[in-house]
Amino acid sequence: MTLADARARAPHLSVAQADPDADERLMLRLAAFCEQFTPLVALDPPCGLILDATGCAHLFGGEAAMRACILQAMARLSFTGRAAVAGTPDATRALARFGQEGVTPPGEDEIFTRPLSIAALEAPKETSVALTRAGLTTLGDLADRSSAALTARFGDETMRRLTRILGREDARITPLRPLPECMVERRFAEPFLDLSAIENVLRPLIAEAMGILERRGEGGRAFEARFFRTDGAVAALNFETGAPSRNVEALLRLFRLKAESLADPLDPGFGFDVIRFCVLNAETLAQSQIGFERQDAQEGDVADLVDRLAARFGRERVLRFATHETHDPVRAASYVYAASPSKPNSWEKPEPGEPPLRPLFLFDPPQPIDTMAETPDGPPMHFKWRRVRHMIARAEGPERIAPEWWRNAVGRDRRTRDYYRLEDREGHRFWVFREGLYESETAAPRWFLHGLFA
């Protein structure tokens, strides 16, 4: 129907430009709202949702009651829709769009979908026209024909659509969010409005989730608290720990810190219908016994401090050093998230009574210096850095570091470096290197100051 025809039939019709992006955002909000019914929700473009009700329907009194509950919730948000329950996502979609709404008894998907018209295939227009001209008007007509002949005439995709709609082949949905490791929730007969009492609701939820993890021998690493409002808005608050944890009070403290750091505080609006606590990531956590020594408690204190800082300032702002298996001093250490699950490698320790092999402070990039050496391959006798000449009293080296050949980056300097530890007459200690082997890699090696020893 054209717009002119529509206006002829409804003169007061309101018209607006289509906005697919706004429609998609709206569907994402509705999908988040529907996660209160099941954690597995997927978009079904252009204006549909697929909910996997496996294991959830009994919470609402059965599939029919769950379907009615969803439609009532949508009606409260001023949305009307068609909903069907079937054994496979494709059969559900076809029944909701082209067939009879309601609940299909288990194993009877084909009985209910055979009367559907060819349009339920949602095949290309030329395919639908060809099927109609061949006298095939329903899915049952297609199902009665030889699949080999239909495949040869209309292609594999048409037959795949048919078999999935009839329920002969199942294709699982891809939910918007992965299934959490553990999930507990509270539903309220009346909307929950008292924000000051949220912790009184979350505490038993967290304790219940931790009890589930304890029976599995696991601890949580990433957590999420979701708040479903009666007007369809959904607020989520995520936090994580640096080590697996089942400490209810510590998790409540992290939730409190995270809530206080929100730029947009939790707003109950007309109230929360559902409050849910999810464990998004869990790892093995063995039972431990606290000893008489203080070491374990100190390690726990540091982990607790990292968790609180990450919850207060954000995970990306709390970092720690990590070592890497490389001789290149530039790549030997880097910053990683302090709450990262990867275990840090051990740092190389100097020999007892010996100074460290490498300084803690490195210049990036290394600073060029003017040097004078007795031999081209020897350590410098003196060098000039920042207009100050340093006369060398002691030198140790070289520590030869070859470039990592597997890092075959174009334009990267691939010359060998000879590192020396130097001490001038005033007692200052430097870490310098000569870039390039004399006469084999370059005729005029350059010197750089790379670091300072404390």
Q: What is the DSSP letter of 115?
A: T
Read off φ and ψ for residue 108, nearest 5 degrees. -115, 25
pLDDT at 410: 53
pLDDT > 80? residue 116:
yes
- Mean pLDDT value across residues 155-169: 89
Distance of CA 66 to CAs 34, 101, 111, 245, 443, Å? 11, 14, 23, 35, 81
Confidence band for 91, pLDDT divided at 50, 70 and 90:
very high
Q: CB under 8 Å to 314, separation ≥6 — which residues?
A: 261
List pLDDT tens digits, range 93-109: 999 999 888 899 988 98
Confidence band for 14, pLDDT divided at 50, 70 and 90:
confident
In whole numbers, what is the pLDDT of the chain averaged over residues? Answer: 86
List pLDDT tens digits, range 339-368: 776 666 677 777 777 777 788 888 888 899
Are the beta carbons of 373 and 380 closer than 8 angstroms?
yes
More confident position, 384 or 438: 384
Token pair listed for 117: 């018209």
- Mean pLDDT value across residues 42-49: 90
The long-range contacts involving 265-269, CB below 8 angstroms and separated by at least 24 positions, are 266/195, 266/198, 266/227, 266/235, 266/237, 267/235, 268/191, 268/192, 268/193, 268/195, 268/227, 268/229, 269/229, 269/230, 269/231, 269/233
Q: What is the dihedral of CA 435, 440, 443, 448, to 10 degrees?
A: 10
Residue 419: strand pairing partners: 399, 433
pLDDT at 83: 94
pLDDT at 85: 94
Rounded CA separation 250/253 (Å): 5
pLDDT > 70? residue 169:
yes
pTM of the model: 0.70
Rounded percentage of the chain residues whose pLDDT exceeds 90: 29
Distance of CA 54 to CAs 1, 37, 187, 272, Å? 40, 11, 19, 25
State the distance between the two ends of the chain, measured CA to CA, in whole angstroms. 81
- Parallel, antiparallel, or unpaired for β 102-103 and 84-85? parallel
Token pair listed for 297: 């408690």
pLDDT > 70? residue 146:
yes
Q: CB under 8 Å to 57, separation ≥6 — which residues?
A: 63, 65, 66
More confident position, 126 or 454: 126
Rounded CA separation 70/392 (Å): 81
- Mean pLDDT value across residues 325-341: 79
pLDDT at 72: 92
- Mean pLDDT value across residues 154-172: 88
Rounded CA separation 254/438 (Å): 58
pLDDT at 291: 60
Distance of CA 120 to CAs 95, 140, 148, Å? 8, 12, 21
List pLDDT tens digits, range 198-250: 888 999 999 999 999 999 999 998 999 999 998 888 999 988 887 888 889 88
List pLDDT tens digits, range 262-309: 777 788 888 898 999 999 999 888 766 666 555 555 556 777 888 888
- Mean pLDDT value across residues 409-421: 74
Q: Report which secondary-structure segment, H or E, holds 313.
A: helix 295-313
Closest Cα partner for 156 from 146, 169, 147? 147
Rounded CA separation 44/47 (Å): 6
pLDDT > 90? residue 70:
yes
Are the beta carbons of 339 and 315 closer than 8 angstroms?
yes
Rounded CA separation 403/295 (Å): 41
pLDDT at 111: 92
Read off φ and ψ for residue 327, nearest 5 degrees. -90, -15
Are the beta carbons of 452 and 390 closer than 8 angstroms?
no
